Every structure is written in structure tokens, then in C-alpha cells.
Amino acid sequence: MVPAIQVEHVVKRYGQLQALADVSLEVTQGEFFGLLGPNGAGKTTLISILAGLNIATSGRARVMDFDVVERYREARRSLGVVPQELVFDPFFTVRETLAFQSGYFGIRDNRAWIDELLHHLDLSEKAETNMRQLSGGMKRRVLVAQALVHKPPVIVLDEPTAGVDVELRHALWQFIRRLNQDGHTIVLTTHYLEEAEALCGRIAMLKQGEIVADDTTQNLLKRISGCCVKLKLVPHALPAALKPLLAQESETGFRLALRAYDEVEQVMAALREAGVKVQEMEVLPPDLEDVFVKIMNR
């Protein structure tokens, strides 16, 4: 079986800026694959190369064994991309948008599949609505439908749930899971790491244009032992003695990474000594966020 996606030593430069540095990875057919990294890591650049929107400075990329440059027609027919940006034609209705997208791939009568997409993405009632009149969440659904309208074997989701309400997020993932179970290969980029942990069987992490991790989700989680402690403190200040344990800080609290559960008592003792009151506390096993932070801080 040929790989769904094959990237070999891909380099991409914009003048003096190197966006991708010798990136190689392979995605097996039927995988639910996560591509993670901070902003500017090169994720969207790599997706653009796969989609034919950008050309690599060097190296090769294939989709379903079709070279994205030499056999670009077959490669693009094999790929459906849900872009990060809300890009749409303001002059068409939802149904017209999907019909035109079908035409780009030479599909003359695609009404049955379009109706099914509209149903599963809860767009049936908006089918005759102009794209300009849709909310941001509804436009996001149409972008998903556009990516799927030609039934590609490989689907790339670039931040598909950014700015999307919880109800749509759950409906979207239910539909995408079904597509994956039906044999579609899914590649996901997201900043919602709990989504990646729940959905992806394998994950690659990009940092400054380089692959810094590529393993199954379970193996990545095994890289961190111990536990995590989430704290909401009054006042909102972490004692100096605990700062070496800090994994993440937000407006709502602190996340500490501990090597073992018995270190929780040491944390409590440091808080008592500093006169800091614990408003909320939660002890959790390590998750993908902890792995991500550890790898990115290496």
C-alpha cells in the first residue's frame, strides 16, 4: 500500500527566511495524523506545498504516490484541504458554492453527495443562503464541505475548529471520525491539544521548520512520568520555590509538572510557607500539552 502522504527532505526558503528545513515524514493510508507546532513552525507552509499552492525550494512531496509538481492534477484530486482562513465567494449560495467546487474537479452531477454533506454538516436549512449572510461558524462548515465535495482520499484540516462554537465542534468531529472509519486519511493541525490527543493515533511536531517529534500519541504521552497540578491561588502569585516546576501560567492559574505524586505535599508546604491560599486545585496525569511544552522547550 502506497503512503497517503510522503514528504522527502523538503526545504522551503523565502529569501533569507527558512520556513522548512529538511522535513521528511510519511502518513499511512487510513491514519488520523496530527501535525502540531507553535505559530510560525511551518505547518501551513507544508500544507501549501502538498496542496500545490506553494513550491518547495528542494525535496519532494507526494499525495497517494502522485508527485505534487509532476503529477499535480492527480495529487490535487486526491487531497481536500480545509484552510485556516475563511475564504469564500460572496456572490453564491451555499449549494452553488459546492456545485462550482465540484465542477473544478470535473464532476457534473454531484447533487446526491452535496445533499449528504449539507445534512451531516447541518447546512441543509442554509443551502439557498448567500455566503455573505452566514455566520463565521457556518462559513467554516461550508469550507469543510468544499474540501470533501470531490470525495478525496486524503483530507487536511488546518485549524478547522478555530473560533467555532462547542456544538459545531462536536458535530464536526463526529463527521470527521466517520470519514476516517470509512477509510479516509485525516491530517489535523490544531492548537487545541486535547483534540489532537483524543483524535490522532500518531503525531508529528514541528519547531522552527524542523520535525522534532514523530511517534504514536501513546508513546509521546509515555515520555513524561509523574503528574501535573493545576492551581488557582490567592493572591495570583507563585512562590519562588515552585517556579522551577512551572509548566504553564495563565490569567486563571498555574500548571506545575511534578516527577511523582508524593511531590504534591512539597507543593502544599511551599504554598503554606509563602502564605498563599489555594482557591482551586486539581491533580492530573500528564497529557499531550505537557509533552508539547517539554519538547518545545528543549
Domain ranges for the chain, please list them: 5-221, 227-296
pLDDT at 36: 96
Where the chain has pLDDT below 70, the residues are: 163
CB 146 within 8 A of CB 89: no
pLDDT at 174: 87
d(CA 210, CA 212): 6
pLDDT at 68: 97
Inter-CA distances, 46 with 19, 31, 59, 118, Å: 9, 18, 12, 29
d(CA 215, CA 201): 9
CB 10 within 8 A of CB 54: no
**What is the dotted CATH code of the domain comprising 5-221?**
3.40.50.300
